[in-house]
A and B are shown apart, each in its own frame.
Chain A
């Protein structure tokens, strides 16, 4: 802070700007969260203390934007707490007259997905069973490959990486049908192993990318020293690299848990009837019900499906953003 305020101003520093700076300084001395995110407090904003028209417009925009992002979640929760007659007669924005959790209970344990009426919990556990091994296996594969690509000079590594990158960006539709055929040939189609293998295959590009970027940022001297000490490929990976990889492992876990939990198309095609993940079950509950649609139940089931990635998001906080930045491909 002191370095900032002590910065000499040019001769053009008129009184107006001095006032501006003073406003800044007052603001800067308060212990705000901003102080930690950026130490220089030269603002790019208007003077924060007085309300200018620009400032009002700014907050107007913030309020409208926040409403746009929050409203769907609020409506979803409200709807899930109402009874069906209440939904039919009242406004979508109206508060529930009494807290009615029956839709939640029904969504969890007796909602119908097609012919089975065992609730969304079946999909929940299927998703857990799919997500856990897929996350672990794809992180392990990506870490190993990323390590190999960044420290070891292997012929053709560039080509392997290029093909992987292409695979990350191409639409699944190009790969799906032959994969279905191949898995049927070896008798794995529509099994749990099948969907886990598919998740590992399609998770490989992003996992390799983030681990490769992470290891490329580590000092090469570290690797060279380990080699001088006689470390082999796996020993260096296990004893030197992995212990330093905690941050990127967390990022990778966040990315893969949300990606795999939120997957729909792969689960739909490869998981088979007995292993359909929660997203597929949810879509079946909401979009293929016959008879009267139970919107409260639908919304409760939707919230339950969103709960796991949302929990990851709220718990991980800045790590989630780091995951986005890590996935935001940089060479």
Chain B
């Protein structure tokens, strides 16, 4: 008994530095950020409290509302698009096509590359004077328009397209693993009943893959919230502020515009938005199962 207690103590001791790091680096910095957002800080943090003034400024700012709208547009199209495209790719690869391994490699390789690289590639493809637009116009389609990254109305869709190119393979890989785990009996049964394959996929397989789909949505949603690199590399938020995103809004106000109070207020709004979605998810995913005893 005494020996066991000693061993437990070793484990407790080992956890202590981790506690320290987690409390300081995650909890502490988070609280500090929230605290700064209630002050009048500009270049450096000051202790002059101004209540919700920074938040009022924030919600009065056009740039912030554009950023939030863009986050919603990007989020919906990127997550939805990647799910649909990734799932289709997985289904196609599951039809015993030739060169399956090669195709899987082709669909997934962009995911190995950074968003900076992705953004720069698509910036070149969308180059107004020399990119794909020019090539297609030279073929005779003179009204073809693909200079999205420098087009105020299309810049956000340029980000979506580049994001889909980078991340759809991730969904494909997850879904393909799920499809390979589907019981053969289901396919036999559905064939005997004469149900067309697409209906089986849509109404039987998709519900079965629900946990994987949730995982994919979470992973994609993280990249939406963190969308900074891609924006910087592809459009830099422009033209003007037309493709700005919350993460970039915060970074600009923190490090170039010396508006710490406003930036931390914006970061806090991001935090609340994400936490509102996350906390219930983490709770059900990790803790309810343990407590109910595996019945969840």
Q: Is the CB of B112 within 8 A of A148?
A: no
Q: How far is B78's CA from A270's CA once the two chains are assembled, in angstroms? A: 29
**Cβ proximity bits A73-96 to B, threshold 8 Å, 1 near / 0 not:** 101100100000001100111000
Query: B124 within 8 Å of A by Cβ?
Result: yes
Q: Does B287 contact A (CB under 8 A)?
A: yes
Given contacts A42-B188, A262-B114, A265-B251, contact A295 B124 (CB under 8 A): yes
A214 part of interface (Cβ distance < 8 Å): no
B110 at the interface (CB under 8 A from A): yes
CB–CB B114/A306 < 8 A:
yes
In Å, the complex CA distance between A263 and B151 comes to 28
| B229–A92 CB distance below 8 A | no
Choose among A13, A38, A328 the residue that contacts B180 (Cβ–Cβ < 8 A).
Answer: A38
A71 to chain B, nearest CB (A): 8
| Contacting residue for A181 out of B10, B45, B130, CB 8 A | B45
Does B226 interact with chain A (Cβ within 8 Å)? yes
- Which chain A positions have C-beta within 8 A of B177? 321, 325
Quick one: which of B27, B226, B232, B236 contacts A171, CB cutoff 8 A? Answer: B226
Q: Which of B18, B96, B101 contacts A160 (CB 8 A)?
A: B18
B40 smallest CB distance to A (angstroms): 15
- Residue ID in chain A nearest B95 by CB atoms: A45
B contact residues, range? 35 or more
> Of all chain B residues, which has the CB nearest A254?
B112
Nearest neighbor of B88 in chain A, beta-carbon distance: A61
Stretch of A99-107, A188-196, A227-235, A240-248 at the chain-chain interface: A227-235
Give A282 to B232 CA distance when docked, in angstroms. Answer: 12
Q: With an 8 A cutoff between CB atoms, is B159 at the interface? A: no
- Contacts A69-B169, A286-B120, A310-B112 given; indicate if A43 touches B215 (C-beta within 8 A): no
**A312 contact set on B, CB distance < 8 A:** 112
- Contact indicator B225/A171 (Cβ below 8 Å): yes
What is the chain A residue whose CB lies nearest that of B44? A181
A166 in contact with B97 (CB, 8 Å): no
Whether a CB of chain B sits under 8 angstroms from the CB of A133 is no
CB nearest to B113 among chain A residues: A306
- The smallest beta-carbon distance between B140 and chain A, in angstroms, is 13
Q: Who on chain B is nearest to A28 by CB?
A: B96
Bound form: Cα–Cα A313–B30 in Å: 35
Q: Is the CB of B121 within 8 A of A88?
A: no
Which residues of B are found within 8 Å of A161, using beta-carbon distances? 286
**Contact A160:B106 (CB < 8 A) given known A17-B191, A309-B114:** no
A178 near B32: Cβ-Cβ < 8 Å: yes
Bound Cα distance A12, B189 (Å): 11
Bound-state CA distance A282–B112 (Å) is: 17
Distance of B227 from chain A, by nearest CB (Å): 9
Residue A185 at the chain B interface, CB threshold 8 Å: no
Contact of A330 with B226 at beta-carbon distance under 8 Å, contacts A162-B287, A177-B254 already known: no
Q: Does A70 sit within 8 A of B, measured CB to CB?
A: yes
Quick check: A321 and B108 within 8 Å, CB to CB?
yes
A227 contacts B255, C-beta separation under 8 Å: no
**Contact indicator per residue, chain B 87-118, by CB within 8 Å of chain A (1) or not (0):** 01100101111001101011111111111110
Distance of B234 from chain A, by nearest CB (Å): 10
* Chain B contacts for A128, CB-based, 8 A: none
Assembly CA distance A119 to B116 (angstroms): 17
The reply to whether the CB of B292 lies closer than 8 angstroms to some CB of chain A is no
Contact with B287, one of A10, A158, A262 (Cβ below 8 angstroms): A158
Say whether, besides A177-B36, A177-B264, A171 and B135 are in contact (CB < 8 Å): no
The answer to whether B287 touches A283, judged by C-beta atoms less than 8 angstroms apart, is no
Q: Verify A79–B29 contact, CB threshold 8 A.
A: no
Report A-chain residues with C-beta under 8 Å of the C-beta of B275. 166, 170
Select which of A34, A79, A313, A328 is within 8 A of B124 by beta carbon. A79
Complex A-B: 26 CB contacts under 8 Å:
A13-B192, A42-B188, A61-B88, A72-B122, A76-B124, A92-B125, A144-B14, A152-B11, A156-B15, A158-B287, A162-B286, A171-B247, A171-B271, A173-B266, A173-B267, A174-B33, A176-B254, A262-B115, A264-B114, A264-B115, A282-B116, A287-B120, A306-B117, A309-B113, A321-B177, A331-B289
Give the 6 A-B residue pairs with the shortest CB-CB distance, closest first.
A262-B114, A152-B11, A313-B112, A178-B32, A178-B29, A45-B95
Residues of B participating in the A interface, judged by any CB pair closer than 8 Å? 7-8, 10-12, 14-15, 18-19, 21-30, 32-33, 36, 45, 85, 88-89, 92, 94-97, 100-101, 103, 105-117, 120-125, 127, 130-132, 134-135, 138, 165, 169-170, 173-174, 177, 180, 184, 187-188, 191-192, 197, 200, 211-212, 215-216, 218-219, 222, 225-226, 228-229, 232-233, 236, 246-247, 250-251, 254-255, 260, 263-264, 266-268, 270-271, 274-275, 278-279, 282, 285-287, 289-290
